[in-house]
Structure 1
Amino acid sequence: MMSGRTCSSGHVVQAQKLVDQLRVEAGMERIKISLTAADLVRFCQDHRRSDPLLTGISASSNPFKDKKTCRLL
């Protein structure tokens, strides 16, 4: 005999999908954070000379710079 609640088939299907997803995630091969962080640091160091956030953008190559100055009459 079931307790006072009954499970609808929608809840069972939803729970089964969740279990399946968790099984997939549990079976994934994980990369250690320390390796990933080291790769990220290495990438940043290797590309720092071409990083516009570190070196800035020259006025001649900046596509967002205003082409005309504003003049008041």
Structure 2
Amino acid sequence: MEAGKVCSSNSVLQARRAVEQLRLEASLERIRISVAATQLVQYCQEHGRSDPLLTGIAASSNPFKDKKTCVLL
């Protein structure tokens, strides 16, 4: 087989994969941005009180806090 034919068949295969991926993406059901934004805001408001990034972590339950301090004499 010639190098040109291999290259050509490889690019045809890549093009088929791209078309298949685009068809898959086009067939996905999408929701409107306004609906998604409303749902996201509602979720954040409902779960904000339990989010450690917003409320912080108690020092007693923080596994990454240093257990002892370094003292230089």
Point out the structure with the larger helix share.
Answer: 2
Once residues 38 and 31 of structure 2 are traced to their aligned partners in structure 1, the CA distance between those partners, rounded to angstroms, is 12
Q: TM-score, normalised by structure 1?
A: 0.79
Secondary structure of the residue that 2:61 maps to in structure 1? coil
**Gap runs ≥5 in structure 1:** 1-5
Which residue is equivalent to 1:38?
Answer: 38
Q: TM-score, normalised by structure 2?
A: 0.79
Give the alignment of 1:59-70 within 5 angstroms. Answer: 59-70=59-70
**Gap runs ≥5 in structure 2:** none
Matched, 1:16 2:16: yes
Shift of 1:46: 0.5
Percent same amino acid at aligned positions? 68
Q: Deviations over 1:4-55 (max 9, x none)?
A: xx87111111111111111111111111111111111111101111111221
CA RMSD of aligned residues (A): 1.7
Which residue is equivalent to 2:53?
Answer: 53
Equivalenced residue count is 68
Stretches of 4+ moved more than 3 A in 1? none
Which residue is equivalent to 1:25?
Answer: 25
